[in-house]
Amino acid sequence: MVYLTRGVVATGLTLLAHSVAVTAKESSASPIVADGTHFALNGKNVAYRFHVDNTTGDLLGDHFGGSVGDNIPLEVIGEVNGWVSDIGRVRREFPDQGRGDYRVPAISIRQSEGYTVSEFRYKSHKIIPGKPALPGLPATMGTEEDVSTLVISMYDKYSDVAADLSYSIFPKHDAIVRSVNVTNHGTGNITIESLASLSVDLPYEDLDMINLRGDWAREAQRERRSVAYGLQSFGSSNGYSGHLHNPFLALTEPSTTESQGEAWGFSLVYTGSFTVNVEKGSQGFTRALMGFNPSQLSWVLPPGETLTSPECVSVYSKDGIGGMSRSLHRLYRNHLIKSKFATSDRPTLLNSWEGLYFDFNQSSIYDLAKEAAGVGAKLFVLDDGWFGKEYPRLSDNAGLGDWVPNPDRFPDGLEPLVKKITDLKAANTSTNMRFGIWFEPEMVNPNSTLYDEHPDWALHAGPYPRTEARNQLVLNLALPEVQDYIIKSVSDVLKSADISYVKWDNNRGINETPSPATNHAYMLGMYRVFNELTTQFPDVLWEGCASGGGRFDPGVLQYFPQIWTSDNTDAIDRISIQLGTSLAYPPSAMGAHLSEVPNHQTGRTVPVAVRAHVAMMGGSFGLELNPAVMDEEDKAAVPGLVALAEKVNPIILNGDMWRLNLPEDSNWPAVLFIAEDARNAVLFVFQVAPNVNHSWPRIKLQGLDPQASYKVDDGVVYTGATLMNIGLQFAFKGDYGSQVVMLEKQ
């Protein structure tokens, strides 16, 4: 037994230090070892251990960190005095509510009688090769070679409620993925008031927490602070993962840096509102919870029904924050993104938005497409403004919901224009241009035929006014008829012409809902729509967008291999936004474009090469401008920059990312991408502010093979050791410089 009763402690000073052995012959080799009621998950460099307390049936955490041997010392539990009882002094895997653990619970259930006490005890477990899909939810996936799953069944005999905790381990990626499902075996309705996908108690030590905060046009700003006693919490309540906080948390030692020290990364595979709670309790343990936002759940579970939580990915690295990110990137590239484009080259695109906004007709669109082809783009994207019949979309106050081409602009539908554009060849190639189009299918303008016919399809709460944002309301995707309408109207457009790319936008948060549970029901409906459409159109390249990075999360990535990172296209701001986003998400997932100057969001003028170099660090490179109105010299530089973007694209898409200098810390942010096969690498170095009468720092590379030789751009060959221990130095002049350097292993 692991924690002591008061009687036992009172008899002596010496406290028990237990140790347990997980069957020696198996433990180091098998990803999952269950020895009685002691459990071990083993990755390449990660170990996770927990066991069942044999008096209380509680699940107690023993270790989540670097690899360990078969015998491990268990927690030493002190004398219990004061109000916090035994249950509040242990490291629990599934903390329930109402019995003396005064920390934040992972589950809270309101019984039909009104009380909210639960007592979940271990009942059984099973090991499943591979990883079962989560019903209706996005999830990481893999073969039996890639992943194994341990399911622990817990049961509350007083309420007849079961909870299955799933732990899937991807040993190669040092990733453990957790989720919970709750089933009501009783006779009355119960209400799930809170349910965390992940709950872990780390031992008594000082930790830092890192999260990504922001707002529109300044997403993914890295925030690092010490974990203090008490609760520190963040999340989203706008119905989506949102701009304000990303569903990502890192815990680190206070001394952990980009390249050294322990780091735990947690990433919630969910697109709805969420809550992250980090609580340092009276014993000094740090509890981390991640899951549904309890203020938007209140999920009624009738007898026989199950609620499945989204899953939470956790990774561990002892190679600092960079190591943590690279594990998440590899896992997401290989085991999350379903699209066939996940790791295949993305076409350079030109999007009409910042070039023409709502002000276009077929001939001006065609002219822009010709300009796009002329500078080397391979895909032309028609953004907002192409649709609406009775309520044509000429500005942002009408048309959303009516996904038919505007007959004034497209009297014969999209087909003739699409045909003309896809007959164009990208400059100096025999490649035909491709055509892409913009949608915002989850939204409706009150000025629309859809709203005239179905005002009840817009989310609303009884008599309360329907708050508009950007003149629009949100459709209730919890309703099957709304899901069917979206699937049909989007697929009708995609079938009407040769369309090979979709930008799926979503430009406001959710306000009034008929019930708190509508928020999760909406997500289930939205995932059904995403799944049906991406399955029906697997050759379409889908890009997610939500006023920029308002829905940059692993849930969206399951269906859409790329997401527009931010509406802020200012190159200097983008360095922070893209490097922040890369804490959790692979660069392959980021859409990043070269746009006009002065920048439309910040008013800043940055040289064209710097703008392009920042953008080509994202997997989907594009242009957000009208080449016809560009400065001549800048325009002349574009074809060369497009060619460079296409050259580095395979490394960005499949490579490992090493953040060498962060924009928060250095005037010379630098990033190295090393191809999966380690043969090629590309280094990006930037100068932000001028540097007068001062030397320039050496950029020490990382992650190379010290013994190997690498040819650097100009033909000079250095060993990996030289590049990592001396580094390369670059001279810059003035504001905003950049260098892109190719490395080739000899």
Ligand X SMILES: *[C@@H]1O[C@H](CO)[C@@H](O)[C@H](O)[C@H]1NC(C)=O
Residue number, 75 or 573, with CB nearest to ligand X: 75
Stretch that binds ligand X, among 25-33, 246-254, 272-280, 360-368 (CB under 6 A): 360-368
The answer to the question of residue 191 lying near ligand X (CB under 6 A) is no
Query: Per rule CB under 6 A, is residue 164 in the interface with ligand X?
Result: yes
Nearer to ligand X, 226 or 429 (CB): 429
Residues 2-61 that bind ligand X (CB under 6 A): 18, 54
Least separation in angstroms between CB 739 and ligand X: 18
- Closest listed residue to residue 24, CA positions, set 6, 7, 42: 42
CB of 561 to ligand X, least distance (A): 25
In the complex with ligand X, which residue's Cβ is closer, 28 or 189?
189
For position 348 contacting ligand X by CB under 6 A, the verdict is: no
Residue 216, annotated ligand binder?
yes
Q: Is 696 annotated as contributing to ligand binding?
A: no
Helices 571-581 & 608-615, crossing angle to 10 degrees? Answer: 10
Helix (H) or strand (E) holding 287: strand 286-292
Alpha helix positions (H), 544-678: 554-559, 571-581, 608-615, 632-654
Please pick, among 146, 174, 505, 634, the residue that the annotation labels catalytic.
505
Q: Does 645 bind ligand X (CB under 6 A)?
A: no
By the rule CB under 6 A, 471 interacts with ligand X: yes
Q: Tell me which residue of 488, 432, 485, 492 sits closest to 458, measured CA to CA.
A: 485
Choose the binding region for ligand X from 240-248, 275-283, 359-367, 659-667 (rule: CB under 6 A): 359-367
If the CB atoms of residues 190 and 652 are measured against ligand X, the closer one turns out to be 190
* 375 touching ligand X, by CB under 6 A: yes
Of 456 and 665, nearer to ligand X (C-beta) is: 456
Q: Which stretch binds ligand X (CB under 6 A): 88-96, 196-204, 361-369, 486-494?
A: 361-369
The number of beta carbons lying within 10 Å of the beta carbon of residue 414 is: 23
Distance CA 552, CA 570 (A): 19
Closest distance between ligand X and the C-beta of residue 569, in Å? 21
Question: From residue 293 to residue 312, what is the string marking binding to ligand X with x (rule CB under 6 A)?
Answer: -------x-x---x------
Shortest Å distance, C-beta 74 to ligand X:
8
Number of Cβ atoms within 10 Å of the Cβ of 35: 16
Write b or e for each residue in 298-325: b if 16 or more Cβ atoms lie within 10 A of its Cβ, otherwise e: bbebeeeeebbbbbbbbbbbbbbbbbbb
Residue 567 annotated to the active site = yes
- Asked if 431 interacts with ligand X (CB under 6 A), we say no
Name residue, tokens 């989560």. Answer: 134
Determine the Cα–Cα distance for residues 671 and 700; give it in Å rounded to an integer. Answer: 11
Give phi and psi for 548, each to the nearest 5.
90, -130
Burial of 463 (0-12, 13-18, 19+ CB in 10 A): exposed
Contact 736, 607 (CB under 8 A): yes
389 binds ligand X (CB under 6 A): no
Report, in Å, the least distance between residue 363 CB and ligand X: 5
- 130 within 8 A of 144, measured Cβ to Cβ: yes
| Per-residue b or e along 667-694, where b marks 16 or more CB atoms closer than 10 Å to that residue's CB | bbbbbbbbbeeeebbbbbbbbbeebeee
Is 151 a residue that touches ligand X (CB under 6 A)? yes
Radius of gyration of the chain (CA): 27
Q: Indicate whether 132 belongs to the interface with ligand X (CB under 6 A).
A: yes
Among 398, 417, 563, 675, binds ligand X (CB under 6 A): 398
DSSP secondary structure letter of residue 291:
E
Least separation in angstroms between residue 691's CB and ligand X is 8
How many chain residues are in contact with ligand X, going by CB under 6 A? 29
Quick check: 446 binds ligand X (CB under 6 A)?
yes
Candidates 256-264, 282-290, 357-365, 723-731; binding stretch for ligand X (CB under 6 A): 357-365
What CA–CA distances, in Å, run from 685 to 155, 463, 646, 722?
Answer: 55, 56, 18, 18
Q: Which distant-in-sequence residues (6+ apart) come within 8 Å of 271 by Cβ?
A: 240, 241, 523, 526, 527, 551, 553, 555, 556
- The single residue among 67, 181, 298, 496 that binds ligand X, judged by CB under 6 A, is 181
Cis amide prior to 392 (ω within 30 degrees)? no
Give yes or no for a contact between 123 and 156, defined as CB atoms under 8 angstroms apart: no
Count of residues making up the chain: 746
In the stretch 520-559, what mask flags binding to ligand X with x, by CB under 6 A? Answer: ----------------------------------------
CB-nearer residue toward ligand X: 447 or 626: 447
Closer residue to ligand X in complex, CB, 643/717: 643
Window of 102-110, 358-366, 559-567, 697-705 that interacts with ligand X by CB under 6 A: 358-366
Q: Which of 430, 693, 695, 707 binds ligand X (CB under 6 A)?
A: 693
Q: Which of 164, 174, 567, 656 is catalytic?
A: 567
Mark the binding-site residues for substrate, compressed into ranges.
216, 383-384, 470, 503-507, 545, 567
* Catalytic positions: 505, 567
Which residues contact ligand X (rule: CB under 6 A)? 1, 18, 54, 132, 135, 151, 164, 166, 181, 183, 189, 300, 302, 306, 361, 363-364, 375-376, 397-398, 427-428, 446-447, 471, 639, 692-693
Mark the binding-site residues, compressed into ranges.
216, 383-384, 470, 503-507, 545, 567
